[in-house]
Amino acid sequence: MNIHQWRTHIKKFNEPFEDNKEIQKEWAVNAEQNIPRFNKENSIINLEFKYYMEQEKAIVLVGSSPCLKEDVKKLKELDDNFRIICANSALRYLLKHGVRPHYVISLDSDKIDIPQHLDCDSEGITLLASAITSPVALDKWKGPIFYMCYESKYIDKNVMRRMKRRLGPAHITGGNSMSTAFYIATGIMQAKTVIFVAHEYCFDKKDYYADKTAAKQEVIGTTVGVIDIKGRQRYTQSSLFSYAIWTEKAISDLSYAGFFIDTSYGIMGRNCKELKHMELSEAIDLVKKAFQTKNVLNKSKKTKKEILKELVPHEQSEVLRYDMHEQRERFLRLKGS
């Protein structure tokens, strides 16, 4: 998938917010206040240079859905072959249980929730922040910060020009934090192995987040019934469902270049055979074995991705084989149910 396709799909996620005047004002105010923070050195596009100084790592994307309560202790099994990028809403929960992520991603402009999420023991943790993130939250952060350009017609044109001049033209924020984190992992960090944790995109009751104390909970409105990977009756929202479809497409398009594992057993991957489902401990052991094999056979020309595919045989997918027209119909049927 090229960068234009990424931008097109991500931009569509912002459409539901276009009529929210309060959010529009927050975007504009925060962007202008944050301008002095931006420079070429702390642009998200420079993350790759820090990453390439290290050996290949498996990227673990940690969301904040209900199954995080079951998997948080398993994350302690990770070794130096892994790097964690977590959603800001999962940060406090991870720290509380002794798991310290390497990166935290924050996209929202919210002046109440986001400062509460990020006001914690953040020393040594890198924040990947949207240019419209609350300045109050940014002031509270103690670790390094890399910024993502955010393009919106509601931000003053002069501010947008200054933002792009300082951060570069790429505008990769939008949608939810984990779809953006997936882009960063594969598009900027060039990760070949990605593990999804707590990405259910569905829930049993009205509560979605694993952590009930990190910040005030969003009010969950209209829900629709879905069946998860294990055949269980669950509930979701149209926004969560769209994130699942978008990520499935990205995985399908990129499967020729990467190996993707989901440990959440939610609704993601029902129509994407390139996404492998397994328990988190099993996924961790598999990646450790593959990386160890590569290190032992360092004279071999096989990549760690090729070794992973040998350990878990599956069909080689074709590029752009995912049928988005079919998925659009799925989405419309869900919204109409």
Q: What is the pLDDT of residues 26-65, one digit of tens each?
A: 888 888 999 999 998 899 888 877 766 667 889 999 998 8
Q: Please name the residue ranges forming H helices in the chain.
A: 3-13, 21-34, 47-52, 68-71, 88-96, 113-118, 135-140, 157-167, 177-183, 238-254, 280-296, 304-311, 324-336
Q: What is the pLDDT of residues 308-327, one digit of tens each?
A: 666 555 444 333 334 545 55
| Longest CA pairwise span in the chain (Å) | 59
Q: What is the pLDDT of residues 234-289, one digit of tens each?
A: 988 888 888 898 888 888 888 777 889 999 999 998 878 889 999 999 999 999 98
First to last CA, the chain: 31
Domain boundaries, the chain: 3-336
Chain-centre distance of CA 280, in angstroms?
A: 17
Q: Computed from CA positions of residues 217, 218, 223, 227, in that sequence, does the dihedral angle turn out positive or negative?
A: negative
Please provide the size of the chain in residues. 337
User: Following DSSP, what letter does each residue of 182-227 receive, concatenated?
Assistant: HHIIIIIS--SEEEEES----BSSS---S-SSSSPPPPP---EEEE
Q: CA 42 to CA 50: how far, in whole Å?
A: 11
Residue with tokens 């991870």: 94
**Residue 231 is which amino acid?**
G
| β 193-197/224-227 pair status | unpaired
Residue 161 has pLDDT above 80, yes or no: yes
Q: How far is CA 84 from CA 14, 230, 242, 319, in A?
A: 26, 26, 24, 27
Among 267, 254, 106, which residue's Cα sits nearest to residue 178?
106
CATH class for the region spanning 3-336 = alpha beta
Quick one: tokens of 203? 């829930």
